């Protein structure tokens, strides 16, 4: 069995949004961090990747927004809402220090975050798969057992282990993290990339389906003149919508917004159809002796509110502050992180659960109005955080 890099203060399992951001922030706070990631980076992952204002606030505070814009992600300063046949375009007003939104491709955003983590001193080890935890005699987690591509087992001791390995987190299972809260999720989200059209703004379309429920679709302009065109609907509607089956996907979009489907057909479909069905609305216990969960590993919600990356960024900063206090001896454990996380996510999580039931259009629109106010309040909260994390 091979040795790791010597004892780190923190080992983070997962190098995408939640994991890389946590590693970057801890590195900037002066802690020794090792990140374990089984994928080769940069690489893509399942995500519609539109950032809520709170996530843009975080990128700006961390000194990374300019890097995202320099990568070619378009600055988005208008949002279009289409409810049935009624259409409204709004400017993105300045708030919490930002006056634009952005929807960078994940292989680019994750790469920027991983590079920032490495620049802060974190050791990023890709092609390495976590396969177990190291425990003290009293059960406290004190490191990670990992496997290299050639099969070599490597011990990575640490004072704290962070699971950032997604909604199907093995770290959550191994640490014994219980699902504390779960809500029904009969959802489906699918998307493609469409090129060859002048996508200028974020778009959100809501329409009444044959079932009487509301369907939701939209456009996130992204790199290389392409846009992520997506649809959210009840899972019962998505038979045959996968892989190369573009027409069934466009049929779903047309059920919500015929005008959006027609525009997508006029462009060039630049990818296969990707998506998922019945993703959970759930909260897990987020901390325990020697461990914590961040991002989708600890909190996952239906993609209908596009809030996953914002959750990951917010929780990365809350967790980094809690770990910093623990390692410096100012806190007895990490439980303060879980308390702060639960308070910060409560309203948007409840709205997400309600929207993912696809209620009739008037109720759906009222929930979207409530969500808009909640996202603005969240952005103000994130702008007010005091952790010293700027590059």
DSSP 93-123: --BTTB--B----HHHHHHHHHHHHHHTTPE
Pick from 287, 136, 256, 96: nearest CA to 189: 256
Return the pLDDT at 40: 86
Peptide bond into 42 cis (omega under 30): yes
Q: Tokens for 299, please give them.
A: 């909190």
Helix (H, G, I), strand (E, B), or coil: what is residue 326?
helix
pLDDT in tens, the chain (391 residues): 555 567 899 999 999 999 999 999 999 999 999 999 998 888 999 999 999 999 999 999 999 999 999 999 999 999 999 999 999 999 999 999 999 999 999 999 999 999 999 999 999 999 999 999 999 999 999 999 999 989 899 999 999 999 999 999 999 999 999 999 999 888 999 999 999 999 999 999 999 999 999 999 999 999 999 999 999 999 999 877 866 679 999 999 999 999 999 999 999 999 999 999 999 999 999 999 999 999 999 999 999 999 999 999 999 999 999 999 999 999 999 999 999 999 999 999 999 999 999 999 999 999 999 999 999 999 999 999 977 556 5
8-state DSSP, 156: E
Q: How far apart are CA 222 and CA 120, in angstroms?
A: 27
User: CA 217 to CA 78: how far, in whole Å?
Assistant: 17
Q: Which two tokens stand for residue 386?
A: 């005091």
pLDDT at 42: 85
Is the distance from CB of 62 to CB of 119 less than 8 angstroms? no
What pLDDT shows up at residue 4?
57
Q: Does an H or E element contain 276, and which?
A: strand 274-277
Identify the CA nearest to 303 among candidates 207, 201, 188, 206: 188
Q: Which two tokens stand for residue 110?
A: 């994750």
Structure confidence at residue 230 (pLDDT): 98
3-state secondary structure 232-291: EEEHHHCCCCCECCHHHHHHHHHHHCHHHHHHHHHCEECCCEEEEECCCEEEECCEECCE
Please tell me the distance from the alpha carbon of residue 302 to that of residue 148, in angstroms, as a whole number.
Answer: 33
Residues 291, 226: Cα–Cα separation, whole Å: 40
Q: Write down the pLDDT at residue 239.
A: 79
């Amino acid at each position: 069995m091979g040795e790791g890099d010597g004892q780190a203060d923190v080992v983070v399992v997962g190098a995408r949004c939640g994991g890389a951001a946590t590693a970057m922030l801890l590195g900037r706070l002066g802690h020794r961090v090792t990140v374990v990631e089984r994928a080769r980076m940069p690489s893509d992952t399942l995500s519609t990747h539109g950032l809520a204002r709170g996530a843009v606030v975080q990128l700006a505070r961390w000194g990374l927004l300019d890097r995202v814009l320099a990568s070619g992600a378009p600055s988005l300063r208008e949002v279009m809402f289409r409810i049935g046949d009624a259409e409204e375009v709004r400017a993105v007003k300045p708030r919490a220090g930002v006056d634009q939104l952005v929807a960078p491709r994940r292989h680019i955003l994750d790469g920027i975050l991983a590079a920032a983590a490495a620049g802060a001193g974190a050791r990023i080890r890709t092609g390495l798969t976590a396969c177990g935890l190291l425990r003290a005699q009293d059960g406290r987690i004190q490191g990670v057992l990992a496997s290299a591509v050639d099969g070599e087992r490597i011990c990575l001791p640490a004072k704290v282990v962070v699971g950032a390995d997604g909604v199907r987190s093995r770290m959550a299972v191994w640490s014994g993290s219980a699902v504390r809260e779960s809500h029904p999720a009969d959802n489906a989200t699918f998307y493609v990339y469409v090129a060859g059209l002048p996508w200028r703004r974020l778009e959100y379309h809501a329409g009444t389906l044959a079932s009487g429920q509301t369907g939701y679709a939209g456009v996130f302009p992204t790199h290389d003149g392409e846009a992520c065109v997506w649809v959210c609907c009840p899972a019962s509607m998505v038979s045959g919508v996968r892989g190369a089956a573009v027409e069934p996907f466009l049929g779903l979009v047309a059920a919500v917004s015929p005008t959006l489907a027609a525009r997508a057909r006029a462009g060039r479909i630049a990818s296969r159809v990707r998506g998922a069905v019945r993703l959970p609305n759930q909260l897990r216990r987020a901390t325990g002796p020697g461990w914590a969960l961040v991002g989708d590993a600890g909190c996952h919600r239906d993609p209908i509110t596009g809030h996953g990356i914002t959750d990951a960024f917010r929780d990365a900063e809350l967790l980094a502050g809690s770990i910093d206090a623990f390692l410096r001896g100012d806190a007895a454990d990490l439980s303060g992180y879980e308390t702060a996380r639960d308070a910060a996510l409560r309203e948007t999580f409840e709205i997400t659960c309600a929207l993912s039931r696809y209620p009739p259009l008037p109720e759906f629109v009222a929930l979207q109005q409530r969500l808009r106010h909640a996202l603005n309040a969240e952005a103000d909260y994130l702008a007010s955080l005091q952790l010293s994390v700027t590059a």
